[in-house]
Amino acid sequence: MSTDFDISAVNDRIAKESAFIDDLLTEIGKVVVGQRYMVERLLIGLLGDGHILLEGVPGLAKTLTVSSLAGAIGTSFQRIQFTPDLLPADVLGTLVFNPKEGSFSIKKGPIFANIILADEINRSPAKVQSALLESMQERQVTIGDTTFPLVAPFLVLATQNPIEQEGTYPLPEAQVDRFMMKIKVGYPTREEELEIMRRMARTGDKTAVRPVVTPKQILDARAVLNALYMDERVERYIVDLVVASRQPDAVGLGMLTPLIEYGASPRATINLNLAARAHAFLQHRAYITPEDVRSIAMDVLRHRIAVTYEAEAEEISSEDIVQRILDTVEVP
């Protein structure tokens, strides 16, 4: 009886705390046509306190969507264009010498914002990419001898172009694993493209989003995610999916063993849990279902499974492996 009361109370709380989601999606939709999948994944990252790697060809509204999200939440936003000559100090900040006073002062970099767009992150060398590591993982930045905490909510959204590989620096595996999800952004439908043309193929002022959500609401929503009910069978399902990427023969997928260099890390287990909770929250539900896990599993796992040369020779990608695992592991 008490359990029913608790679930009922959580349901009421979720309905109240998640009411802003519809307003947020509507406001972003005034500027961004379609791309519902990308927008929802960005919200999952924001709610789950996880960073996102966006991959797609140019012109798919990645930058527009991220800036619109920041505008609709009323948070600070910085776009950093990663180029081969970028330095870590250009991202984090540096010490500036004042000759008049004979002392150093700290000049903070663009990383000190709530939402960071690291545009074409693979255009800069490893030392610049690694400059994001501490901020992404520890939510802090060290300049000289001083460490500054970053203001929550803090979200790094990095983009990379999959069609141009010349002059790029592949992201280190350690940094790729720090992204909660890797999202592949696709082309719009014919109807969506028609609407894009009608909206954007005109001169003059463009529609701008207005703040409809406060940062405090986002932080409150994060706290509510912990109250969502996740059955032990769903928890075990998450672990089964991740373990299957390391030991595929344990679930009858021995043919995948020579195709997997290494499987998903424990971060995958954690992020599957968090992303599934955020996905349920977007649906205004107080409990997590296996379908929540399956909906975000590809985004959480595709960049965490490394394939062997044999898999590359057979043109088998990590996505193919994830799909085989999803099709095979028993759903509770």
Specify if 260 maps to a domain: yes
Shared domain for 158 and 293, answered yes or no, is no
User: Quick check: 147 pLDDT over 70?
Assistant: yes
Residue 245 has pLDDT above 50, yes or no: yes
Greatest Cα pair distance in the chain? 73
CATH of residue 323's domain is 1.10.8.80
Is the same domain home to 70 and 163? yes
Query: 149 and 290: one domain?
Result: no
What integer is the mean pLDDT of 234-249? 93
Instruction: Classify residue 140: in a domain, yes or no.
Output: yes
Q: Are residues 163 and 240 in the same domain?
A: no
Residue 155 sits in the same domain as residue 260: no
Contacts of 267-271 spanning 24+ positions with Cβ under 8 A: 267/177, 267/178, 267/304, 268/242, 268/300, 268/301, 268/304, 269/238, 269/239, 269/242, 271/48, 271/50, 271/180, 271/181, 271/300
State how many domains the chain has: 2
Q: Mind listing the pLDDT tens digit for each residue in 68-89?
A: 888 888 888 899 988 888 888 8
Please name every residue paired with 117 in a beta bridge, in sequence order, or none if there are none. Answer: 79, 157
Residues of the domain holding 72: 19-221
What per-residue confidence (pLDDT) applies to 5? 40
pLDDT at 284 over 50: yes
Look at residues 194, 221, 248 and tell me which one is the last residue of a structural domain.
221
Percent of the chain past pLDDT 70, that is, above it, reads 95
Does residue 160 sit within a domain? Answer: yes
Looking at the domain assignment, is residue 136 inside a domain? yes
Q: Count other Cβ atoms within 10 Å, centred on residue 258.
A: 12
Residues 106 and 238 in one domain: no
Q: Where are the alpha helices (DSSP H) in 54-130?
A: 62-73, 88-92, 126-129
Determine, yes or no, domain membership for 2: no
pLDDT of residue 253: 84
**Residue 74 and residue 43: Cα distance in Å, rounded?**
14
Confidence bin at 122 (pLDDT 50/70/90): confident
Within a domain: residue 13? Answer: no
Judged against a pLDDT cut of 70, whether residue 166 lies above it is answered with: no
Q: What is the pLDDT of residue 204?
A: 62
Q: Which one of 16-25, 69-78, 266-275 scores highest in mean pLDDT?
A: 266-275
CA torsion angle for 229, 231, 234, 238 (degrees, to 10)? 70
- 53 with 195, same domain? yes
281 has a pLDDT exceeding 80: yes
User: Are 30 and 166 found together in one domain?
Assistant: yes
Assess whether pLDDT exceeds 70 at residue 167: no
- Indicate whether 5 belongs to any domain: no
Q: pLDDT > 90: what percent of the chain?
A: 23
Same domain for 35 and 122, yes or no, is yes
- Give how far Cα 162 sits from Cα of 78, 145, 260, Å: 23, 38, 22
Is the pLDDT at 202 greater than 80, yes or no?
no
For residue 101, give Cα distances in angstroms to 80, 94, 104, 107, 271: 31, 17, 9, 16, 48
Q: In whole numbers, what is the pLDDT of the chain averaged over residues?
A: 85
Q: What average pLDDT does range 263-271 have in this prediction? A: 92
Same domain, residue pair 74 and 217: yes
More confident site: 300 or 188? 300
Predicted confidence (pLDDT) at residue 56 exceeds the cutoff of 90: no
Last residue of a domain, one of 198, 221, 244: 221
Higher pLDDT, 134 or 305: 305
How many CB atoms are closer than 10 A to CB 144? 10
Q: Do 53 and 100 share a domain, yes or no?
A: yes
Mean pLDDT of 124-137: 82
Q: Which tokens sit at 86?
A: 């970028």
Predicted confidence at residue 109, as pLDDT, reads: 87
CATH number of 108's domain: 3.40.50.300
pLDDT value, residue 279:
94
Q: Is residue 165 located within the same domain as residue 60?
A: yes
- Residue 2 in this model has a pLDDT that exceeds 60: no
Q: How far apart are CA 176 and CA 52, in angstroms?
A: 10
pLDDT at 299 over 50: yes
Q: Between the CA atoms of 15, 16, 20 and 23, what dihedral angle is there, to the nearest 10 degrees?
A: 70
Q: Which residue has the higher pLDDT, 116 or 104?
A: 116
pLDDT at 219 over 50: yes
Tokens 């802090």 map to which residue?
A: 140
Position 11 in a domain: no
Predicted local confidence at residue 206, as pLDDT: 66
Last residue of a domain, one of 191, 221, 251: 221
Is the predicted pLDDT of residue 264 greater than 60, yes or no? yes
| pLDDT score, position 203 | 65
Return the ∠ at Cα 115 (arms to 111 and 117), rounded to 5°.
Answer: 75
Whole-angstrom distance, CA of residue 123 vs CA of residue 324: 33
Query: 96 is written with which tokens?
Result: 């500036």
